[in-house]
Amino acid sequence: MLNKPKISAKLRRAIDKELEIGESVVWVGQPLPRFFTFESLIYFCMGIPFTTLAIFSYMMQQILRFQT
């Protein structure tokens, strides 16, 4: 495993159980909690209608293109 992983001993033991002989961990990373804030939830919720509109517009364009 890595020389100086920044993970807890409990997590390291869990990872070591999953590794087979000859396997090693190249990179260890965990999500940063600051990205899961109320502000990011607002942007996520705002993106849902815009994504829906984009998909709907694309589908309508495809339907109209094949009807003409």
φ, ψ of residue 30 to 5 degrees: the values are -135, 150
**Per-residue confidence (pLDDT) for residue 36, from 0 to 100:** 76
| Sequential pLDDT tens for the chain (68 residues) | 445 657 788 988 998 899 999 998 887 777 777 777 888 888 889 999 999 999 999 999 999 998 86
d(CA 31, CA 68): 49
**Per-residue confidence (pLDDT) for residue 38, from 0 to 100:** 82
| CA-based end-to-end distance of the chain | 61
Task: Report the candidate in 33, 65, 11, 47 with the shortest Cα–Cα distance to residue 1.
Answer: 11
**Per-residue confidence (pLDDT) for residue 67, from 0 to 100:** 81
28 burial class (0-12, 13-18, 19+ CB within 10 angstroms)?
middle
**Per-residue confidence (pLDDT) for residue 64, from 0 to 100:** 92
